[in-house]
Amino acid sequence: MSQSSGGQIDTVMQEDRIFSPSEKFVSQAQIASLEASQQMWDDAHRDPIAFWDQFAKEELHWFEPYRQVLEWQEPFAKWFLGGKTNVAYNCIDAHLGTEREDKTAILWEGEPGDQRTLTYRELHEEVCRFANVLKHLGIVPGDVVSIYMPMVPELAIAMLACARVGAVHSVIFAGFSSEAIADRNQDAGAKLQLTADGGWRRGKNLPLKDTVDAALEKSSTVEKCVVLRRTGIQVSMQEGRDFWWHELMENASPDCPAEPMDSEAPLFILYTSGSTGKPKGIKHTTAGYNLYVKKTFEWVFDHRDDDVFWCTADCGWITGHSYIVYGPFSAGATCVMYEGAPNHPHEDRFWEIVEKHRVTIFYTAPTAIRAFIKWGDHHVEKHDLTSLRLLGTVGEGINPEAWIWYHKMIGAERCPIVDTWWQTETGGIMMSPLPGAISTKPGSCTKPLPGVMPVIVDEQGDLVASNNGGMLCIDHPWPGMLRGIWGDDERYREQYWSKVPGKYLTGDNARCDNDGYYWIMGRIDDVINVSGHRLSTIEVESALVSHPHVAEAAAIGRPDEIKGQAIAVFVTIKDVEASDELRGELKQHVRKEIGALAQPDDIRFTNALPKTRSGKIMRRLLRDIAEGKEKVGDTTTLEDYSVLANLREDEE
């Protein structure tokens, strides 16, 4: 049961199931035993510099060799100092002249059903031509290019073309508003805007160019705009500012050598939601990031040359940057890229794509998995998913019951699941099973990858004992780490390096069990404090999701005169109607699963939860609603505003 002490997080969850990879999987895996993974981990721990040095030499192309592996002046790291490389070169040119030259790089599926494939050679040509377009438009190394495009191959081409000429891209998810684009453009000092006329989403034609037009009125640094024709929707083109992609490409030469870039030259900025309204531009640089995403892709996804890899994220998020574009292409992988929604035209669209392209590795988010469960097994059963050999999740904790469903329904109990914990800031995966070596426990991201040194501390910065929850920090720089917040070193220091001296503060709580397995317990700010016991949101939510009629749940603390905080939960249900009887049953269920302390005080049924555009539950907004606040906090990252209105109507 729960243990408590100052500043620590209590754990009430008991999850004892453990799953080992099949003999068949292990016999073909690159890292195929616990001993092999331990050896890598020990090597990296003993001498991280030598560990990364060896990989950097072997895995990246160097126009000029580096002279020093790491310079660490906390909190600023520089990796591979003095070296010159190019990320687009490592992603594409490195495969030319090898057997991968004619291998498919992108298998693209448009929402309306159109399809395109690009081999590495074809991708090279497209990227070179668009790189020449960028140069023609006056882009030089260090310029910032803002990208607001749908999930079409040209989005990846644009990112790689920026990398090729040394421009810094800032990809903005094509669901954000014109204000959000303008804020980000201003903060980054973007010079050029790339967009499309429109994009498809659930059968609707999103007017992307119109949104960009409004954004550009408030983006004082943007001089020009390139527009891809995707949906054919009518757009207005401003003379002298706006250019059609296809017209510029017509005259562009396919010959464009990659620009040798300094190891620490910025590669991209990616904005994430901060606690204040000001956008927070996470900065990643060239060589360290490239190496980190390449190696973590190969290790975690056990990549083989005959794999068809599908990461369902959008390139507008870090997952898309690292595991649709830079990691997989550096490793010479074949990637599926899908433009649209998982339920268009029907709820089986993903499984149709898996079947059609014989996908072998499938990487998605828990929010999607919970939606599949709600939609029903019959959508899955219609399709042949026998090509799959490995499954992954990212973005939130996965509730153990959702994990089990994924394992059984999608993986047919054959595919290991890699629950990958990481952040925009970390650049690549930090904790995850190595699928041929590490047995999995549902709900745990298992162990740190080689070279990653997590520590869990209490409010005083002291290490907590095993199985106790505390703040998750990282102890040593790693090549993929953020290099700062764009234009705001002070905020970088303050946010990530001030609370726990000498360590990177992740902002998540976690516990490490007696087997050395890590369990992420949610964001530090989301902890619920009931009578002095600090409970994690995910444990209460997972207990609810293990009830057969619960599809999704969000737990929050609301003020309570006696207990400090009371537990309020918002629940979406399946197969039954909401009732007081069910409310009572759910309270009892949580009590039985994890104990009286965690029994919810209020249960509110809702048909949807407020989520960010990348699918994370926005508990902060739910707290505001539970407290009856008239005006809720920052909603700029909210995906669907109608959810808020419904929640208010449903108030008890």
Judged by CB, which is closer to ligand PRX: 342, or 443?
443
DSSP state of 449: P
**Residue among 553, 588, 578, 576 at smallest CA distance from 650:** 578
| Binder of ligand PRX out of 11, 296, 364, 420 (CB under 6 A) | 420
Q: Report yes or no: 521 and 538 within 8 Å, Cβ to Cβ.
A: yes
**Token pair belonging to 547:** 């009830």
Q: Report yes or no: 448 and 518 within 8 Å, Cβ to Cβ.
A: yes
Judged by CB, which is closer to ligand PRX: 225, or 455?
455
Judged by CB, which is closer to ligand PRX: 110, or 480?
480
Would you give the end-to-end CA distance of the chain in angstroms? 32
| Binder of ligand PRX out of 372, 421, 486, 570 (CB under 6 A) | 421
- Report which secondary-structure segment, H or E, holds 419: strand 417-420
Q: Hey, which residues between 89 and 108 contact ligand PRX (CB under 6 A)?
A: none
CA 331 – CA 606 distance, rounded (Å): 43
Judged by CB, which is closer to ligand PRX: 491, or 523?
523
Give the per-residue contact string, 231-270, with ligand PRX (x = CB under 6 A; - = no).
----------------------------------------
397 touches ligand PRX by CB under 6 A: yes
User: In angstroms, what is the minimal distance from the CB of 84 to ligand PRX?
Assistant: 29
Binding span for ligand PRX by CB under 6 A among 65-73, 191-199, 228-236, 506-514: 506-514
User: In angstroms, what is the minimal distance from the CB of 272 to ligand PRX?
Assistant: 5
Give the per-residue contact string, 593-622, with ligand PRX (x = CB under 6 A; - = no).
---------------------x--------
Residue nearest to ligand PRX (CB): 424
| Binder of ligand PRX out of 155, 318, 336, 337 (CB under 6 A) | 318
Judged by CB, which is closer to ligand PRX: 565, or 637?
637
CA contacts within 13 A on the Cβ side of 18: 7
Strand partners, 454: 474
Q: Report yes or no: 79 and 244 within 8 Å, Cβ to Cβ.
A: no
| Binder of ligand PRX out of 508, 541, 552, 624 (CB under 6 A) | 508
User: In angstroms, what is the minimal distance from the CB of 148 to ligand PRX?
Assistant: 18
DSSP state of 440: B
Question: What is the size of the binding site for ligand PRX (CB under 6 A)?
Answer: 20
Judged by CB, which is closer to ligand PRX: 212, or 431?
431
**Residue among 195, 180, 264 at smallest CA distance from 225:** 195
520 touches ligand PRX by CB under 6 A: yes
Give the per-residue contact string, 319-348, with ligand PRX (x = CB under 6 A; - = no).
x-----------------------------
Strands 361-364 and 308-311 turn out to be: parallel
423 touches ligand PRX by CB under 6 A: yes
**What number of residues does the chain have?**
652
Q: Report yes or no: 121 and 159 within 8 Å, Cβ to Cβ.
A: no
User: In angstroms, what is the minimal distance from the CB of 19 to ligand PRX?
Assistant: 16
Phi, psi at 154, each rounded to 5°: -60, -25
User: In angstroms, what is the minimal distance from the CB of 317 to ligand PRX?
Assistant: 6
CA 566 – CA 559 distance, rounded (Å): 6
185 touches ligand PRX by CB under 6 A: no
422 touches ligand PRX by CB under 6 A: yes
| Interhelix angle 537-545/580-594, nearest 10 degrees | 120
Judged by CB, which is closer to ligand PRX: 424, or 599?
424
Judged by CB, which is closer to ligand PRX: 18, or 96?
18
CA 1 – CA 314 distance, rounded (Å): 40
| Binder of ligand PRX out of 162, 394, 474, 621 (CB under 6 A) | 394
**Token pair belonging to 559:** 């003020």
Q: How many CB atoms lie within 10 A of CB 174?
A: 25
Phi, psi at 140, each rounded to 5°: -125, 165
CA 518 – CA 652 distance, rounded (Å): 37
Binding region for ligand PRX (CB under 6 A):
272, 318-319, 394-397, 419-424, 445, 506-508, 520, 523, 614
